[in-house]
Structure 1
Amino acid sequence: MSGPAIDGWSRSDRAKAAAKLMTGWVALLWLLEAADLATGHALDPYGVTPRESGELAHIVPSAFLHFGFGHVAANSVPLLVLGFLAALGGIRRLLAVVALVVVFGGLGVWLFSPSGTVTAGASGVVFGLFGYVLARGFVDRRPLEAVVGLLVAAVWGGSMLTGVVPTDGISWQGHLFGLLTGVTAAFVLRRGPRPAALTT
């Protein structure tokens, strides 16, 4: 019979943990937007205003804040799905990917967004997770994960490409740097091919 999972987690354990984490994450985004609305949009200033040194501290909170429930809704499904798929490879690995995307994607926004704008939202993380899920199977040489990446590209690839094209009214800078950081994270956090299961 096959042995236990190498890291002590079965596939069902990973799936349950991934589902709980991402459901809680998306719920938090909705709760924050509800709090923002209830306080007269008191959280909106915690978005990133470019090239002001004091705004660097807003890079992290800006990834959890939105400008209206429509904005949250647009990010919720892709964040839930892509985060779940990424988390199947390990919760700590997912958190490392998100940390890289938030920091470096946020720096891209801070450096290159137009003056006088304020940027917030989880779409940079969504684009980062898309890039990570797309690339990791090929980088790690894991066929199943590569197939999952191709399926994700088939579903969201068109909208992701559109999202990194310079367009007024959206933070294409956050999308672009999020995507590039997600792909880079697949290389930084690369693993070897999955070892073959042994039977006795």
Structure 2
Amino acid sequence: MSTALKKQAYPILILLLAMWLVRIVDAVIPIDFNQFGLLPRTLRGLVGIGLMPFLHASFGHLIANTIPLAILLGLTIASRHRAWPIIVAIVIGNGVLLWLLGRSANHIGASGLVFGLIAYLITVGVREKHPISITIALLVGILFGGALLTGILPRWSSVISWDGHLFGALSGLIVGITTSRSR
């Protein structure tokens, strides 16, 4: 692994460790950190735009986000020259869309970023038609395409933030279109 790639990989470990540290502290200290989640169209909910990816309802929820997030972040930093501004744009785009248009619920978790990275990597592969981008898009489609299609479907009685998934995917699509060249 090149030195430049290692430099970009360290923030992945820091991000994942921060998510785990927040969950561990939340489990040990009787403070519900999830109260800082994203609440659409509320002033208090604005802080959730940045905090939502770090907040998880349980260790199972965190594990379900950690594994795909590690894979997708790794693919993103390995294939994009300036990956972190792209990742931040997806987080902010997802949060803003969810805050503006999401259903009235407390949205927590990193799955919006997961869905955003899935859509981003597929979009870039389709648009650029570069062998590496196409290979990554195919790999992501095979690994996560089913989750993408089923995860954005409305589930009105579910505690799962399907709208967070949808707006994450939409953010990834938009960032993919605006940061890649169509060939």
TM, length-normalised to structure 2: 0.89
Question: Counterparts of 1:192 and 1:180 in 2: how far apart (Å)?
Answer: 18
Three-state SS of the structure 2 residue aligned to 1:108 is helix
Question: Counterparts of 2:2 and 2:31 in 1: how far apart (Å)?
Answer: 40
Does the CA-based 8 Å contact 1:136-1:145 persist in structure 2?
yes
Please name the residue that 2:50 is paired with: 60
Max Rg structure: 1
Please name the residue that 1:177 is paired with: 167
Q: How does 1:95-110 map to 2 (within 5 A)?
A: 95-110=84-99
Gaps of 5+ in 1: 1-10, 194-200
Question: Counterparts of 2:150 and 2:4 in 1: how far apart (Å)?
Answer: 32
Question: Counterparts of 2:101 and 2:178 in 1: how far apart (Å)?
Answer: 24
Name the Cα RMSD after superposition. 2.0
Shift of 1:64: 1.5
Please name the residue that 1:85 is paired with: 75
Gaps of 5+ in 2: none
Of the candidates 80, 83, 92, which is equivalent to residue 94 of structure 1?
83
- The list of structure 1 runs, each at least 4 consecutive aligned residues, that deviate by more than 4 angstroms after superposition, is none
Shift of 1:95: 1.6
Between the two proteins, the alignment pairs up a number of residues equal to 181
Please name the residue that 1:45 is paired with: 35
Question: Counterparts of 1:97 and 1:64 in 2: how far apart (Å)?
Answer: 18
Question: Counterparts of 1:185 and 1:157 in 2: how far apart (Å)?
Answer: 18
Deviations 1:77-97 (A, max 9, x none): 100000000011346x32222
Shift of 1:143: 1.5
Please name the residue that 2:153 is paired with: 165
Deviations 1:17-68 (A, max 9, x none): 3443322221211111111112224311110112113321221111211111
Question: Counterparts of 1:161 and 1:13 in 2: how far apart (Å)?
Answer: 36
Share of identical aligned residues, percent?
Answer: 33
Letter in structure 1 aligned against 2:39: T
Higher mean displacement: 105-114 or 55-64: 105-114
Shift of 1:127: 0.5
Choose between structure 1 and 2: higher helix proportion: 2
